[in-house]
Structures are given as C-alpha cells and as structure tokens.
A and B are shown apart, each in its own frame.
Chain A
Amino acid sequence: MRRTALSEEILLTVEKPARYIGNEVNSVLKDKTQVDIRFAMCFPDVYEIGMSHLGIQILYSMFNTFDDVWCERVYSPWTDLHAIMKEKNIPLFALESQDPILDFDFLGITLQYEMCYTNVLQILDLSHIPLYAADRNEAHPIVIGGGPCTYNPEPLADFFDLFYIGEGETAYRKLLDLYKECKRKGFGRQEFLRRASHINGIYVPSLYTVEYDDEGLIRAFTPVYDDVPSVIHKEIEMNVSDTYYPLNPVVPFIKVTQDRVVLEIQRGCIRGCRFCQAGMLYRPVRERDVNLLKSYAREMLDNTGYEEISLSSLSSSDYTHLEELINFLVDYAKEKKLNISLPSLRIDAFSLDVMSKIQDVRKSSLTFAPEAGSQRLRNVINKGLTEEVILEGARQAFLGGWTRVKLYFMLGLPTETEDDCRGIAELSNEIARLYYELIPKSERKGRVQIVASTSFFVPKPFTPFQWAKMCKKNDFLKKAHFVNECMHEQLNSKSIKYNYHEADVSILEGVFARGDRRLSAVIVKAYENGCLFDSWTETFREEPWIRAFDECGISMDFYTARERSLDEILPWDMIDIGVSKDFLKREWDKAINETVTPNCRISCSGCGARIFGGGVCYES
C-alpha cells in the first residue's frame, strides 16, 4: 500500500490532507531504480494554485514520456504544515514517491509571479537544500527556475543553479542528456553548469559578475569565462501543433482553482498592449490547429472525467478558428452534459450568442478591460478598445438580458492625469446610463450592476514601460481615493461598485519585477522575518518586508520610483526575447506621443520576433 511521508496523525491534523498524499488520477508512478533522472517539479504556492497551472502539467507529462526520467510534483506546504515540518525537522517530499526532495537530481521551480519568492526559499529550506547555490555540493539537486519571472531572474540569481529562459518544450531534453553525460564521465556540479550554459536558453547566474557604479547602476555584466555566452536567447516552440500536450492531466481530489480541462488554443498575442509583459515575451502568435484542438478536447475529457472545459490564451477572440472551435464545443457539451467556461472574449454578437447558450444570462456578467479611463490614455498604453466599442457591446448585451458588467482598469499608468482617473468613473456611469436609457422601467429587474475594479500598474521588463517610473504607495492610494470620490459624483453612482486594494504588494512586485542581484539578500531576510505566501492577503504582512529592506540597507524607491534612462544597463539586458530593445524604445516614444501601433494582423511593426521564422509574422 502507498506510503506517506507524513504520519497519519499529522495528515489528520492539517487542513486538507489531500494536498500532500499524491495518488491522483493520472499521476505517474515509475520504478525509481529504472530511471536515470529524478526530476521534482515545483510550483511554489499551495496545491490548489499549483495544480491549476497548465505549464506544469505540460512539462510533467513531457518529462514522463521520457523513459529515463521520472518527474514528480511538489507544492508549498500551507502554513499549518510548514510549522509542523520545521518543528519536527521533516524534509519536504515529492507527491508521487513521497521521497525527500534531496533524493532528486533536479528541483525545477516555476516562477509565475514575484510574490512567490519567499515561497521559493521555503521550498529550499524545507527540502534541506542550502538557500544559496554557492553553498551546494554534489549531494544536492540541481535547482532550476523557469516561467515568466525568469525573464528577469536577477533577484533570485543567488538561489538558482540555472534558469531555463523560454518555453519548456524545446531544450530540456538536451539539458538532461548533458546531465547524464556528465554523470557518466564523473564530472561534478560546476562542470555540468559550465557546459549547460552553452545550451541555448540556459542561464547560469553564477557564471556572470555584475559591477555597479557609485549611484548603484550596473556598470558591467560579464561572463566569468570566455566560453560562457554574454547573451541568452529565449527558447520558443514554433510548432505548437506538434509538441507535448498533457492529454492525461493529473486530476486533483480536492477542488482547485482551475478545476477543468484546459485547452491552450494559441501562444502569444497580436495586440501589443504596452503594459503587458506576456504580450511581448511570447511573440510571435502561434495558433494551434483547430482539428487538433477538437481531438484534444475529446481525449482529455475522456481521460479525466472532468465535466468542464475552458480555453486558454492571452486573447482568445483573436484565434482565427474561434467560432468553429466554440461551436464544436457547444454541441459536444450538450451531448456530453459538460459545462464550458469561456475566457473573457471580446463582447460582440457572436460571443453574446454563445454566452447566452452556455450560461444563465441573468446570473453571468459581461467583462470589459478598458484598462484606462480615457481614450488618450488608452492610446498611450496601446489598448485598442474604444468607448464606442464598449458601449455598443454593452448595448447589445443589455438588449439580450444582461444586467451585470465588470470593468477592469489600471491606476498609475505613465502620463496619467486626473482627467484620466475621472474617466474611469465617467465610463462606468455612461454604461449605467445606457442601460436605463435602453431598458424601459417595466422590463427592468432592479438596477444594472456595474463593478469597476482598478489594480495598480507595475512596470515590467521587456515592455515599452520598462524604463517608466512607478508610482509610490501614497500616490496610488490617492488616485484610488480620487476615483472613489468621482464615482460618488456620478448620477448613477448607486448602480456602480468600485473596488481597489492595498498598494503595498504592488510596490514589492515593482521592486522585484525590475530588481537586480542585490535583492537576494532582502528575500532571505524577509523569509527569516517570517514572510511566506505573500501573494495571499490573509498571510501577507508588510512590516517584516520593510524591516528586511532596512536591515539590508536597500531602498525600494531605487527600483520603483525612478525613471531609467534609455542607455542604462538593465538587469535583464543579457536576455534576448526576440523582440528588440530598439522596438521597445520606439514604443516607449510612441506611448509618450499617444500614438497607437497597429496589431500584427493589420501590419507588422518590425518588433524583431520574425527571427523565429513562423507564426503570425509569416501568415500572409
């Protein structure tokens, strides 16, 4: 019978023991004596979040198709178990074998958001792996990072042996083969890392030195050896219709955030919103074959027993065969008694028709993401959505019976003025007004419900705003309070609800998004001060973070509240994502001049991603 790393008593003491026992449908068991490489794949957050992540499922199934590899999963123990493991000195284990992480060859950690960085240290700490890569020896697994945050891995540079920059499907096999070769030849850890740095997409932070000038700016970033490349090119899967896909995804016992079959219909985005990092990182757009997606859908539903399916991409409405795919899914869902959950589609006649077929119109809501309150500012951020389009969508929806509207905006965007902020309230009001104008009193069932939410803008690497100054905490809150006041001044304010949240997490996100190697020390201090699960409102505490920065003598403002000059060496300059710095500069310039850049299907703007030889760049 299955063994558990934790005792029965511990499992019955902690909240949701199912997080720690493995044994799920489609989880992979292998004979550890029959594989060459044991790979622990970690999402450094609680099980329910980690299990909802498609990228992990893709890599998990890819690794396990390799006969010589056994890939297992590991997630952050929740705070209750964390305390027990620390107290009793129980080592962190992988779910499948329940074996300690120390027994593994690799520990791969996906870095999806900056606020998981203390959880990364928790994983290392509980695994009994030294936090600093420099302190590790042959007995320790190779710690490898992947995911969007690795496009600026510098704040974590000291903790990782290497980073995999780019999409996971392409270069892992090479890395694993190199590892086996090094083992066979008796080469040590250092030799392996040195050789790994020659593989495209692999960045070994210990093989570079950074020098700073008197103001703390980077003066030079240099490889330690001649054979170590000075630029790391991202990896990209150009053939998305013929690559790994998890047709047998692991099915959790407990309810997780994404508790359904997920079909990734395309990678990348044609839009080029200037605040959006994903839109730049995953260029160019590559679509999956629609017939392939249909067969994936059938197979995955059969293999999991899930009753729900959803689509995933950055902008599903831009998928060429969306209508065909959705019509297929709607029919299939009817036959098989399935639910479809649609990502937020552009609101138009087609999407409204589909939505009315698959959900209760009165209970569901429309979602618009204008991101900025005025057309001027929307031009700055290159968000194509205009007020006319929003109002036309809302008009059709109200006539179709919808009464709930969700609006998403950002505060603190470059060049933002009071007028732009007021525009958020005015647009919300305008939509409410339209409803009352359109729907006669006798047909109304109560008020229209407009929910406007704002988040605080965080400049990200590899976007045209990577040079921008970020607001300070008080500026953010002032803006939110101002929007709130404006909401109250609106005629239809009773129909509008306005949401915003605290700004402290956004500031930290801003620091780490564009941070450098000197921040590693702060993260260690914060972890020692008790920070963990910082992305959770219930566990986040600002005070220990502030203390950590003070103790390290590092200023947050240096990273957030300063506009960077165009010739400053940025911590992530050694990474090449295909999109050129020149293009980003042009876009930054156009943003200031409030000039819109057309999307990739209207015309190519020469961003540089053509170099990958496929996708939307070669469509016509």
Chain B
Amino acid sequence: MKVRIRFKKEGVMKYIGHLDVMRYFQKLLRRSDIPIAYSQGLSPHQIMSFAMPLSTGLESDGEYVDIEITQRVTSLEAVRRMNANNVEGIEILSFKELPDGAKNAMASISAADYEVSFRDGYRPAFSCIDILRKMYDEDCINVVKKTRKSESVVDIKPGIYEIEGDDDKIHFCLSCGSVLNIKPELVIEAAFNREGEDLPEYALSIRRNEIYTDIDGKRVSLDMIGTDII
C-alpha cells in the first residue's frame, strides 16, 4: 500500500539539510514500527521518496514523503506513533493511503506556497510589497538566473501565481517542479534589483506552507490526493 505522509519542519530542525532529513525519516519509521516496505536485492533500502527538498534554513508546514507499507496501519495510529518518536520541530500532520496509480509526490508537484518575512535588521527602506505588486502587473518579469555553469535571462512571470500580504509577511504561490522552478528569494531579489539594491544573504526568513499538484488545471494540495486509513 502506498502512503503519503505530510509533516511540519520548523524551529531548529530548519538547520537539518535534506539528506539528513531523509536519514532521520528512515530511523523514525523504524523507531515507530511502521511496516515500511524494502527494496529487493543485496542491500535492501526503504521505499521512500520525498516530494521536494527543502533548503537548509527554511521552515515548512507542508512537506511530503511517500512510502510503501506492507501491512495496514490506521492513520491515527501511525501519526500517533511517529509523533511519539519525533524530536521537537518535526511533526507528522497526516498519513494517508494513496489511490492506485497515483503519481508519486516528486513527479506530480506543480506549485508551492511560501510565506516570507525579513529577518531583523534586513528590512529594506522601500516597500517591498509595493514593488512586487507593480512587477506582477507587468507582462513579463525578466530576471537573470544563475547556475553554476551559466547565466540566462528567464521570464518568471508565468511562474508567479499569487503575491499577497504586506511588508511584514509576503505570501507567494510559485511554480515548482521540473518545468519552471521559482524560489521566493528569486522574486524578492528581482524587486530589490529594481530598486538598484542587492538582496543581502540571510535577509529572508522563509516558510513553505503547502505543495500542490495540478489536476485538470487546478491546484490541489498534495495532501488531498490520499485518504485516511481507518
């Protein structure tokens, strides 16, 4: 049976990188006695895949990991057991059975919600939300996207679905996944550049709130795909 787990990652756990979160989950599942399935072969490993790595330093209310289990366990019981074995800063929010044929989390992601605020001492003199709103009203937003190898100009406008909030807290809904992956810092940096400023490192405190998949052109939370095991 395929299962999707939603969890929260916050507090000091934001300093734990993605690979270590994966290792943490491997042990958490064992400690909680979740009947996780293993791959075949000489060195079997747990069948587990995360929707989307969360960068170190970010918090999240909507992280997802898909696993396979070999025996039925109720959602209530699984969530209870896992949370009893959790450290502060990781909380299991749901444990749901995926319908047959459901795409795995990683393959199906299309968008994510973020909540962004400025760390103490980093708030710019200008109103960031005003600039963002103005930018959003334009037809295209060209930014320079740097990778390790190259620099290219990309129009990020099609990947920005929502910008809301105020200068204390800015909400974004941004495209993610393999087609157009936009990080909130990229959008804010574009706003800073318009003001002729660079976005300082560590200026932003970012929390991911949700990850979506696309169903018939509609954004649907990854959590809505599964159903509770009773």
Q: Taking beta carbons and an 8 Å cutoff, which residues of A are in contact with B? A: 1-2, 4, 8-9, 11-13, 17-18, 21-25, 251, 253-255, 301-307, 337, 339, 360
Contact = CB atoms under 8 A, between A and B. Distances in A.
A9 B202 contact: yes
Contacts of A1: 10-11, 88-89
Nearest to A3: B12
A18 B23 contact: no
Contact of A306 (B15, B27, B38): B27
Contacts of B119: 8-9
A307 B27 CA distance: 8
B26 A305 contact: yes
A305 B30 contact: yes
Interface in B78-98: 85, 87-89
Give the size category of B's interface with A. Answer: 20 to 34
B11 A2 contact: yes
A302 B33 CA distance: 8
A111 to B, nearest CB: 30
Contacts of A254: 16, 20
Contact of A305 (B13, B20, B31, B205): B31
Interface string B17-30: 10010011011111
B84 to A, nearest CB: 12
B44 interface: yes
B12 A21 contact: yes
A550 B192 CA distance: 56
A12 B205 CA distance: 12
Contact of A12 (B11, B43, B202): B202
A304 B88 contact: no
Interface string B35-67: 000100011100000000000110000000000
Given A9-B119, A23-B88, A337-B44, A302 B202 contact: no
A239 to B, nearest CB: 30
Contact of B202 (A8, A17, A306): A8
A4 B30 contact: no
Contacts of A25: 27, 31, 85, 87
Contact of B12 (A4, A13, A306, A360): A4
Contacts of A339: 43
A4 B13 CA distance: 11
Contacts of A360: 42
Contacts of A302: 31
A222 B17 CA distance: 55
A30 to B, nearest CB: 15
Contacts of B44: 337
A403 B11 CA distance: 49
Contacts of B87: 23-25
Nearest to B89: A23
Nearest to A13: B202
Per CB-CB distance, the 4 closest pairs between chain A and chain B, nearest first, are: A305-B27, A305-B30, A305-B31, A17-B15
Nearest to A11: B15
Contacts of B88: 1-2, 23
Contact of B23 (A9, A12, A255, A303): A255
B20 A18 contact: yes
B27 A337 contact: no
Contact of A18 (B16, B27, B28, B38): B16
A306 B27 CA distance: 6
